[in-house]
Structure 1
């Protein structure tokens, strides 16, 4: 029972520390950090990377008048890059090496592009099945080939990303497991090779996330989505 009307305003203490006074700084958590923190070098670099990606995706899209049409593609690049780099650290699960994640990213994007295109631009997509200048006798075959290549697109996107992540990590694991049975000279060579492989995998992590985002952009521009 409250003994004093104003006791609810007394700061409570945990381990003799008045944590209630921390509520003064809760406003800082609501205000975006760009307004109250000096950007670090990494922050400036990442912002420049995102601006470059935004401009490049904008050139690949057909209609540049819709604002924010590159947001989902830049976000897609960021999340794949983040997960690819996380997998390079020891004892961290590489989620992008599993088809359940890569298909989860590729299939809904491709399906939404196809549904929107076939519902709103049916003639455009039907014409896209037969390349310009195809002889009439080859048209049925070209329709079958284009249809199959269109259907397997989400699979190729998912398998490309997962296979590249598996291959490099598997090679590094196999080489690392041979370390205890090697001599000191061979162990030094193995460490150098592992460092070079780590640099290669870092490049692969960037390239594969970029390829995934660029191909998704090209698929969206083909259905005249933007």
Structure 2
């Protein structure tokens, strides 16, 4: 019996009181080594094009003063989230990105490292970001408060955005599938069609949310340079 509606997303498999479901986070790593040993296939060429496109896009967002190789951090972040989002679409595989435990673990250290780097190396620039250009003098104290709060909640918004989007679709699919046994044949056919459409939508959401997470993290890093 579920304690609440969202308990279906909680880890349930455990060995010696250790949540075994979190190992699904590393299942995507088993797919990667094959691309280094097999003859380049269409899948390999497509993935290389995706990585190259992301590299060029992240490179344009990061200022010329950015360090070399910075884009690979965000490409790795995109890949990790994308693999976990896709794996969560398969039956009986735990969706780790639907938990704040993982998403906050990704967003908080990155944001904190950006802030420490920015305040140590570009202190004047960080103070300038607290007051948008053209702000009237009478509104400057309020803008400093607003910008400080918006800056502090950035890791939370990154984590909650990814978690909420992954939970919403999975929850809708779960609720709709629970009504299947009590439906007639015609309504069951309609339900299956709706489930397929929702699964296609969830596939798009899995790609979009990993891209949004990586892009926003790139923009946050660009502000401290």
Partner of 1:216: 217
Count of matched residue pairs = 193
Partner of 1:110: 111
Change (3 A) 1:36 1:92: closer
Question: Following the alignment from structure 1 to structure 2, what is the Cα–Cα distance between the partners of residues 108 and 214?
Answer: 16
Structure whose CA Rg is larger: 1
User: Unaligned stretches of 5+ in structure 1?
Assistant: 1-31
Tell me how large the CA RMSD over aligned residues is.
1.4
SS of corresponding position for 1:89: coil
> Normalising by the residue count of structure 2, what TM-score does the alignment of the two structures yield?
0.83
Change (3 A) 1:181 1:35: closer
Change (3 A) 1:38 1:112: same
1:152-204 CA-to-partner distances (Å, cap 9, x unmatched) read 00000000000000000000000001000000000000000000000000000
Change (3 A) 1:120 1:49: same
1:121 aligns with 2:139: no
TM-superposed deviation, 1:36: 5.9
User: Unaligned stretches of 5+ in structure 2?
Assistant: 1-32
Partner of 2:142: 141
Of 213-222 and 64-73, deviating more is: 64-73
Change (3 A) 1:65 1:160: closer
Partner of 1:87: 88
Partner of 1:132: 133
Change (3 A) 1:43 1:64: farther
Contact 2:35 2:44 in 1 (8 A): no
SS of corresponding position for 1:70: helix
Partner of 2:46: 45
